[in-house]
Structure 1
Amino acid sequence: LTPETRGFLGRKELSLMKKTAFLVNTGRGALVEREALLDALATKKIAGAGLDVFHDEPLKPGDAILGFDTVVLSPHNAGQTAEVVRDGLLRAVKNVENFLAGKPTDVVVAPVK
């Protein structure tokens, strides 16, 4: 998330969607303006939403987004496929091997104090 992408989808963008459209966000919660999304759902400007990310994580009991039966929520794990897990493990092993061999890694390694 960058300052340029925060609130990337706001009232204007949501108003351009068809009333039958569902907004799907698996990126970052703050890409979508929270109040604009809640308003679009409440006024039925869009049909619903599928969200794997939220403005505040974890969602707190009573969060307004929980009041919509047209919203499907998943606990920030939509990207947890077998391939993603495998690739992450392989990347971690390669980085440890490179670090121990004195070779560059693709992550920042902080010195232990």
Structure 2
Amino acid sequence: MRAERRAKAAPQHRFVVLHCDGCGAATNASYELRPVMVPAALVDNCFGLPLWLQTPCVGHTLWAFNPRHLAYLKEFLRAGLRERHSTANASVVSRLPGWLKQAKHRGEALGAVERLERLLLR
């Protein structure tokens, strides 16, 4: 099943059309907007549902919102040189948790990314 959010602002009506990729059925579902703090809560910030792409890693939880986010993390972890050209907290990398940026965790973190990639193949 997939849900697509196309509008930049939340509409007044709180319905979304859900489509089943398997049988093609479609249905309307209601939802409510609630503020969600991520990563304090490992839930998606649209529906408040637990993130599917999460796995234990060096005493923490490695998580990704979607395949593109996971690919970004993999690219970061595989990079040999990590230069910063912007001010503090102005880039995605600056907001990654410290444990993930430590070289000593790189191998385990890459293994965790690969576990999450296998989830995507199911």
Q: Shared fold (TM-score greater than 0.5)?
A: no
Give the TM-score category using the shorter length: under 0.3
The structure whose residues are more often strand, as a share, is: 2
Structure 1 or 2, whichever has the larger Rg, is 1
The structure whose residues are more often helix, as a share, is: 1
